[in-house]
Structure 1
Amino acid sequence: MGSMDAARAMTGFFDAPVRGKNLDDLRRANLSTALGLIHAAGSISRADLTRSMGLNRSTIATIVADLEARDLIVVGEARDTKRIGRPSLEISTSVRHVVIAVNPELDATTLGIVAMGGRVLREVRMEHERPPTAREVVNSVRALVAGMQPELGERHVVIGVALAVPGLVSAVDGSVRLAPHLGWVDEPISAMLADALGVPAWAANDASCGVVAEVLFGAGTGSGNVVFLNGGASGIGGGIVAEARLIQGRGGFGGEIGHTLVRTDGAACRCGSQGCLEAEVTRRALLEAVDLGVERSHELEALLAEAYVDRDDVRALLDAQLASLAVALRTIINTLNPEVVVLGGFLEILGRIGGERLERMLRADALPGPAEQVRLQGARLGRMSLLIGAAELAFRPFLSDPIAVPVAAGRASLADLG
């Protein structure tokens, strides 16, 4: 699947595509497709947009003018190309409309101001001495947004708030059924944030958000079959995209790969079982092995890489974690036959230090067909993947129905003239 084809497939990630029944529906569908392609590409020439959509240049010009009038895109200078003829204008998404994206974790809550095109305009990290309650997260977000209001109100329109939560999140109402490491049970976090901020709110599992971001903008770009494993302070989460669709299951609870059994006599897990992947492969054990506190976790990779060579105890710990990770990956690869497995968080560190060993175990243990077709990648978006993916929850109304976005003051859409 080519990158432009994948971008088209990912348009409206969380929703069914718009299908035209009359001229208004056709216009809506064309605007949605164009905005989705521009959003996924970040920046695209008008000529490439024309070729991708298969429409004539005058129709594309009308579509571009309509989206520009709604402050959804920016038309810039012509791209310098070697092609014969007049250079094509460059089109990118606007930063006018933004989402407040939030990722609560054991040690910190991260807030980002995210614009379309996967751009994080600002990031704020609030450290915790203990896991925050749902109410504390809501209060912290409300206080931060209030402090940013002068800047936000002048430059941006906040269309909503979206959370990436390390736990089971209902796809129906955005409530958290269970986030064991945070101690959250049946918390209506989306409703709480909507009431506090006065804007629509969404929530989803953090790794499900991460896989969406990595497929659209990161290591999974160009592929419709991607598994994302994120290693964070609260454990390991999984997100799955198959045939260009996010796999969430009936209630939105799918993808809990962190609770894959990897050792029958293993450590107790917070879920009540034992030997789960996230009980055997932990960031805490890695930090303790090199005498690091959570506040210095940014030094983990450098110290682990050095200790892996010089210290037998650290090498044994990493090899044991790599072996457990390989068991889980073997199950994933044999079951789902993904093209890409993306490792994020501290799992990316494990992959960079022991990648060759991990690859050997996978090639030896997984079935030959799926094992030959998969590649392991680090998360290209880093820690931003969770925020960017969460923002997609709020951007989907824009992507599916740009006509619902009002024309900016002082502008007129060509389609609305007359």
Structure 2
Amino acid sequence: MTPPPARGNNLDTVRQHNLSTVLGMVHRAGAASRSELTRSTGLNRSTIAALVGELVELGLVNESEPDANNRVGRPSPVVTASGRVCAIAINPEIDAVTVGVVGLDGTVHHRVRYPTESVPTVADAVAIGRSIIDGMRPDLDDRYRVVGIGAAIPGLVRVSDGVVRLAPHLDWRDEPFAELLAAATGLPVDAGNDANLGANAERLFGAGRGYADLVYLNGGASGIGAGVIVDGKPLTGRSGYAGELGHTLVNSTGIRCHCGAIGCLETEVSQSALLRVLDLPGADPDELDRALAGASADERVLAEVERQLGHLAVAVRNAANVFNPELIVLGGFLGALIAVAPGRLEMLVTEHGLGATAESLVIARAELGSRLLMIGAAELAFGSLLADPARIPFP
């Protein structure tokens, strides 16, 4: 959500900027002492003290005394983001709707995965989301202050209004999901593409910390999506649709994709194929991870893993050649794939990749696991608060 333009004099604008800077630092980097905030921001001690004091009064951060045994000299109070300030995250998929509660300190307080017997319609996803949130209401009202809802959608989402332009596996077209969910829950809703939100979450809190250029590939029940970070900023394209690497050609003699092309990445590398060789009707990312690890000696499973890694290597080389990232992060079932055969994907990529591009490329598994899309969606909902902390958008 884009916050409304700031009004007032220049001092108001500076104060807003400084509050946003301090809150953003403790939100994304974790606990920081006042002295660390002073050094990092370049502001003086009295200004930091005033800013932190205001954020404490607003209930957005907490202050505590440090462990004196680990400090030399006069201890500086430690500032942390409040875990009571929360966002609700929702992720509809073809086999389930997952809802979570995520604190401003990055803690996932609750996560509920509601399996569905069939692909949920927009009305189904809204109803399930509302029902789960209603069930959480007593706890939410007693313990937390909810900013709003962030939705991670496996498809093309118009970021300006949360309209799902196309989510092919869900069979959603031009659906005003954010508007419908807001009406059902009474909470403000922002929606975005799941892979873009996952990329941002990994950049801020996971394997992508410290990297300015990265590509994130996410494998889920609805296929494969991607998010691209260039010079520290998400590459979204004009309307938020950039990063459709799931439709990269990886096999010219392969399966016809729902998009009409032959041999797209998400038709050749799929969670459903892994579930078939594992004889599982369904699984969330953590369950699939455990199942693959437990079947690492099964020849059928290993053959399918090798087949999928071969096609995944083509997509990784394509992404490396186009974007020249420092890092490629693999999430969802793609992370489970590389865990079964450590080093194999890197070998396949370097065997046929452009030397200069491949030699410095790092491939890593996403660190946030099943929390990834909950944290990514929550970050979307926290956007307005982080931009202007004094204008608290609590309903």
Q: TM-score range by the shorter chain?
A: over 0.9
Corresponding residue pairs, total: 394
Q: Distance in 2 between the 1:58 and 1:213 partners? A: 32
Q: Distance in 2 between the 1:17 and 1:54 partners? A: 25
Q: Superposition RMSD on alpha carbons, in Å?
A: 2.3
Structure 1 position 290 matched with structure 2 position 278: yes
Q: Distance in 1 between the 2:79 and 2:66 partners? A: 9
TM-fit CA distance, 1:179: 0.7
Structure 1 position 210 matched with structure 2 position 198: yes
8 Å CA contact 2:285–2:333 kept in 1: the answer is no
Structure 1 position 335 matched with structure 2 position 325: no
Which of 152, 158, 167 matches 2:155?
167
Is the alpha carbon distance of 1:210 and 1:329 closer, same or farther for their aligned partners in structure 2, counting shifts above 3 Å? same
Which of 60, 65, 78 matches 2:53?
65
Worse-matched range after superposition: 294-303 or 74-83? 294-303
Kindly provide the amino acid, as one letter, of the partner of residue 202 in structure 2. E
TM-fit CA distance, 1:84: 2.7
Give the aligned partner of residue 304 of structure 2: 317
**2:113 partner SS:** strand
Kindly provide the amino acid, as one letter, of the partner of residue 189 in structure 1. F
Q: Distance in 1 between the 2:261 and 2:14 partners? A: 52
TM-fit CA distance, 1:309: 3.8
Which of 129, 135, 140 matches 1:141?
129
Give the aligned partner of residue 45 of structure 1: 33
**2:50 partner SS:** helix
What TM-score do the two structures reach when normalised by structure 2?
0.94
User: CA offsets, 1:249-296, max 9 Å, x none?
Assistant: 111111111111111111121222220000000111111112222158
TM-fit CA distance, 1:58: 1.0
User: CA offsets, 1:375-395, max 9 Å, x none?
Assistant: 111111102111111111111
Structure 1 position 54 matched with structure 2 position 42: yes
8 Å CA contact 1:39–1:117 kept in 2: the answer is yes
8 Å CA contact 2:349–2:358 kept in 1: the answer is yes
Q: Distance in 2 between the 1:19 and 1:354 partners? A: 55
**1:325 partner SS:** helix
**1:383 partner SS:** helix
**2:315 partner SS:** helix
Is the alpha carbon distance of 1:79 and 1:377 closer, same or farther for their aligned partners in structure 2, counting shifts above 3 Å? farther
Q: Which runs of 5+ in 1 are unaligned?
A: 1-11, 408-418
Q: Distance in 1 between the 2:368 and 2:213 partners? A: 18
TM-fit CA distance, 1:49: 1.0
Q: Distance in 2 between the 1:260 and 1:35 partners? A: 39
Q: Distance in 1 between the 2:147 and 2:285 partners? A: 33
Is the alpha carbon distance of 1:136 and 1:310 closer, same or farther for their aligned partners in structure 2, counting shifts above 3 Å? closer
TM-fit CA distance, 1:23: 1.1
Which of 350, 353, 364 matches 1:363?
350
Q: Distance in 2 between the 1:335 and 1:70 partners? A: 45
Give the aligned partner of residue 331 of structure 2: 344
Is the alpha carbon distance of 1:247 and 1:363 closer, same or farther for their aligned partners in structure 2, counting shifts above 3 Å? same
Give the aligned partner of residue 380 of structure 2: 393
Give the aligned partner of residue 111 of structure 2: 123
TM-fit CA distance, 1:228: 1.0
Q: Which runs of 5+ in 2 are unaligned?
A: none
**1:202 partner SS:** strand
Q: Distance in 2 between the 1:403 and 1:303 partners? A: 47
8 Å CA contact 1:262–1:276 kept in 2: the answer is yes
Is the alpha carbon distance of 1:381 and 1:235 closer, same or farther for their aligned partners in structure 2, counting shifts above 3 Å? same
Structure 1 position 178 matched with structure 2 position 128: no
TM-fit CA distance, 1:319: 1.4
Identity %: 47
**1:321 partner SS:** helix
**1:292 partner SS:** coil
Q: Distance in 1 between the 2:287 and 2:377 partners? A: 27
Q: Distance in 2 between the 1:343 and 1:206 partners? A: 13
Q: Distance in 2 between the 1:18 and 1:207 partners? A: 31
- The 5-angstrom pairing of residues 22-33 of structure 1 reads 22-33=10-21
Q: Distance in 1 between the 2:5 and 2:329 partners? A: 27
- The 5-angstrom pairing of residues 182-201 of structure 1 reads 182-201=170-189
User: CA offsets, 1:174-207, max 9 Å, x none?
Assistant: 1111111111111100010111112211100001
Is the alpha carbon distance of 1:56 and 1:235 closer, same or farther for their aligned partners in structure 2, counting shifts above 3 Å? same
What TM-score do the two structures reach when normalised by structure 1?
0.89
Is the alpha carbon distance of 1:402 and 1:341 closer, same or farther for their aligned partners in structure 2, counting shifts above 3 Å? same
**1:294 partner SS:** coil
Structure 1 position 272 matched with structure 2 position 254: no
8 Å CA contact 1:227–1:239 kept in 2: the answer is yes
Is the alpha carbon distance of 1:17 and 1:304 closer, same or farther for their aligned partners in structure 2, counting shifts above 3 Å? farther
8 Å CA contact 2:286–2:369 kept in 1: the answer is no
TM-fit CA distance, 1:402: 1.1
Kindly provide the amino acid, as one letter, of the partner of residue 132 in structure 1. P
**1:376 partner SS:** strand
